[in-house]
Structure formats: C-alpha cells, structure tokens
Structure 1
Amino acid sequence: MSYPIIAAQLYTVRDFTKIPKDIEKTFKKLKEIGYNAVQVSGIGPIEHERLKHMADEAGLKICATHISFDKLEDDFDDVVKQHKLWDCEYVGLGSMPGEYRTNEEGFKNFAHKASEIARRLNDQGLKFVYHNHNFEFTRFGNTTGMDILFNESDPDAFQFEMDTFWVQAGGANPVDWIKKLKGRMEVIHFKDMAVGLDMKPIMSEVGEGNLNWKDIIDACKDIGVKWAPVEQDICKRDPFESLSISLKNLKKMGLSSEVK
C-alpha cells in the first residue's frame, strides 16, 4: 500500500448529504468516480449504524471525521462508540471554537484543553487531529497561533490535519509545515490555491492551482502521512466534477485511492 491514500472529504459535497437517501446516492457516486475512502464531515443527521451500512454497501472506508468540540466535550462516549463502529481511527476537529481565537492566552488554553481530550481518545485507541484555517497564522509578537498550538499541545496525543490551502493563505509554506509536523500528522487536507484577476485567492481542484504539489507530496511521503482527503469548500463547477478532476490529477502525480 502506498501512502498517502487519496480520499474524498464529504464537506465538498455537503449540499448532497443533508438527508440519508442523498448520503447513500453520494457514496455511490464517489465510488463510481474512483474514490474508495471518505472523511465524514458536514452531513445531515443519520444514525451511526445506518451510515456505516451505507459506506460498506458502497465499498467506502471511513478514514476520518470532523466532530464538533462541544460533542467531544459533552458526548465523549458516543464519539468513541461512533468511531469504533465505523472502524475510523482519526477523530477530527474542523476548527477551534471562536472564544479561544481572541488572543495568545486563548490559543494556549485551547491547546491544553484539546490535549486532555486527545489523551482520552488515545486511551480508547483513537487519534485526535486538528484541522487549521488561516487564522491560526495570526501573529502574537514573535509567534503565531499555529506555533502556539504546536508548542503548547501534547506532542504524544494532539495531532494535526494540515490544510494546504489555508497554510498558504495564512502566509506560510505548506511544505515547511508538513516537515515540521513529522510524527504529529497522519491525515492532511489536499486543497489547491489559484488566483483571480481581482487578486483574491481561489480554491481550486488539486493540480489546477499554483501550489507546489510535487514537493507537498514528497514531504507527505517523507513524514509518513497516511490519508489525504481532497477538500474544496467552494467549487466553480459541480463539486463531484471537481473531486473527479482532483483525483485524476493526483493519480497522474503518482498517488492512489486504493485501500487494502
């Protein structure tokens, strides 16, 4: 098995996963496109057992999730039950709650609190992964929010799920950060960045933008990243077509969506 394995981040097709019957259709469509694994995020309400059955029927592995911080704090046992039922090792947090983003102390408090939850997940055989945006690269004197998360969190429990687009949007180098996260990142979000004539950054299909994918992929291989869900929050075309384009481009770059 070659790593990282390409997966589809369901947030990309969130408009097509609001009710159970649409989730089922979406799973089948992603399988037809060529994906064999998904990250569950942004879907409508559905029973854990029913979702697992749909994924199995479509032949899709659930490689990771995004869970709200409130649920991690208030319904921890159900989170554990859910992930074990889904045979899903990675419990993802899409972003820190807004109240922690206001200052340096807030970032430190979040890093400490999330580390406590991460250690509890580790005790259950699961792994906590934190997904960044660009606000983590806000500067506080000589440091950034992302540096604070890296330095103040428990390196044995708090893992990252770096997003290539948002690191670039935050003014940092995705390759540098991948290398820095060695030993603390097994899931990464692949998302490309283009630019419009209005000089604003645009989320684009992987390989259709300006990020340095050769160096990004090489760095992921070097540090042992296992999963690379493709995410595109905003698509200029049908999101399924966008996911298809990203997958085709990544296969041309030598990656695979095969799960063994």
Structure 2
Amino acid sequence: MVHRRNFIKQTGLALVACSIAPGFSFTSKEKESLGIQLYSLRDTISQNPKKILRKLANIGFNEIETYGYNDGKFWGLSVAELKEELTKNNLTSPSGHYDGNSLIKGDFENFKEIISVARELDQKYIIIPSIAENLRKSKSDYLNIAEKFNEAGEICKSAGITLAYHNHAFEFKRMDDSTGYEILINNTDKNMVTFEMDIYWVVRGGHDPISLFQKYPGRFKLWHVKDMHKENPELNTEIGNGNINYKEIFNNAKVSGVEHYILEQENFEMPEFKSLNKSYNHLSNLL
C-alpha cells in the first residue's frame, strides 16, 4: 500500500522530471516542420530575397523549398549567400526544384552541378518540377523518362540525396491502359526515386490523392499543399477556403510516407503575406 505522503512525493518528482525533460510527457507533441515553395512569391522575391526569407520565418515557416537556380545564383544570391540567409533566419532547405529536361535527353553534365548546389544547401531532395511537352508525347517517352530518373536517382543516392518528381495534371492523361503518372511510379525504383505529390494538381487532374496513397504506399515523401478555389478550379486559394478536404487527406498522411509538408500558392486575392499567414495557421492546426 502506498502511503499518501509517499504518493505525493512520487507524483511531485514525476512532475519535476516532466518539466526538465518534456519529451517524456505524455501530452507533449513535437512540432511538425512546415515549408513553403518560394515559387509562391516569384513576383517579388527577386526584388529583395533577404527580406522575403525574414518575413516567411516570422510567420513561422521553418523549411524553404527553392526554385530558380540560374548561372550560379538564386534571385541574385550566390549559393553561399542563400545558405547564410537561411541560417540567419533559422530556416532549412530540405528540397529544391531544378530543371531536369537535359537529363531526360541523356545529358547528365548539368545535373552534376545541381547535386553540388543541393549539397551546399544541405538539401536532401532534388525535385524535377515538370517535363517539357515535347519529351512526353507517348508511353515510350514516359518509359524513357522513368529510365533516366532511375539513372539520376542512383547518382543522387551516391551523394546522399534522393531524386523526386513533382506532378501537374498532364501526367494523368490516359495512354493505352495506363497514365503517364502510373508509368513513372511503376517503372522507377522506390529506393532511388520518390514523388512530391502536388495535391491540387492531382485533384484538378480528376484523381483522388488518398487512393494514390493507398495504391502506392510510401512513395510520396513530399507534398505540395495548395487549395482549389471553389468558384474557379483554375485558381488557388488559402488552405481551408477551397474545396479540397485537407482534413481527410492529412488523416491519411502516414500511408503516403510524407516527410515534408510544403505550402504553395500560385495566385492571391489578398496581400501575399496575409494570405500565407492564414494558410500557415490552418495547416498548423491540421498538423
């Protein structure tokens, strides 16, 4: 039998232990990382990228997905300068979008530079954001793309990086008994190539993200989270204001294998940072 005095003493010690080491508390929950694709701010970021990064950090974002690498720079910043700004604002960049059309054609020379840039930024994912239309006209084209992705994925893996592909809606066009997207997933090595699911484009392409999670569990390590405007499906809106059921989608996150949630919005009906703040708050509640 535990005496009342001993019970109080033991309980008090337990509470002290929890306050010292909150990781042991049953009620503590580690904050999920939440990122943003900087393409969302493509109209303004080149004007003052340092200010943009600072404002995003102030909203609460802690991960940045890059785009726009050209001639050794991002929006006028060298790779080293960008890394410095990320560090200054307690931001990391686990992923970046880089042009992959040359490697699809069989030219891997430029890809070596991309790997070097990604490593300097400590990026873990190199993402091919799209495929030029002239390179994806047939089923055989998609089979060739999958083959090149496997080759590039192997090169990435040797550098400690994972190759990923970001979809739009064109990949869901039927080709005989399949779609371009299915061809890519079914013909790439899951140990070499993963996928960044753009949920908006999946829905706009007439497909259900959850069904894809269930059909290809673990293949979607990154998500692009953006909502579809209720009145005009060609437009985005703040997360929670559109017609995509993100609560249900987030309830199925585990089966998808997702590790990084990345907000993207391609158009705004209110000031950009007011909109991004609303989406951030809604996503934080979902997480």
Q: TM-score, normalised by structure 1?
A: 0.89
- The structure 2 residue matched to 1:47, chosen from 67, 78, 93, is 78
Alignment pair present for 1:63 and 2:91: no
CA 1:221 to 1:155, structure 2 compared with 1: closer, same or farther past 3 Å?
closer
Q: What is the Cα-based RMSD across aligned positions, in Å?
A: 1.9
CA distance in 2, matches of 1:135, 1:37: 28
Q: Which residue of 2 aligns with 1:12?
A: 40
The code of the aligned residue for 1:5 comes to S
Select the structure with the greater relative contact order (CA < 8 A; seq sep ≥ 6).
1
Mapping 1:68-217, distance limit 5 Å = 68-70=99-101, 73-196=108-231, 200-217=233-250
CA distance in 1, matches of 2:58, 2:234: 31
Question: Which segment is superposed worse, 4-13 or 132-141?
Answer: 4-13
Q: TM-score, normalised by structure 2?
A: 0.81
- Secondary structure, counterpart of 1:38 in structure 2: strand
Paired residues in the alignment total 250
CA distance in 1, matches of 2:257, 2:32: 8
The code of the aligned residue for 1:126 comes to I
CA distance in 1, matches of 2:172, 2:281: 31
CA distance in 2, matches of 1:18, 1:85: 21
The code of the aligned residue for 1:47 comes to S
CA 1:234 to 1:102, structure 2 compared with 1: closer, same or farther past 3 Å?
same
Q: Which residue of 1 aligns with 2:251?
A: 218
CA 1:83 to 1:232, structure 2 compared with 1: closer, same or farther past 3 Å?
same
CA distance in 1, matches of 2:274, 2:238: 9
Determine what percentage of the aligned residue pairs are the same residue. Answer: 30
Alignment pair present for 1:36 and 2:62: yes
Look at both structures and tell me which one has the larger radius of gyration over its CA atoms. 2
CA 1:125 to 1:3, structure 2 compared with 1: closer, same or farther past 3 Å?
farther
Q: Which residue of 1 aligns with 2:264?
A: 231
Alpha carbons 1:69, 1:97 under 8 Å: kept: no
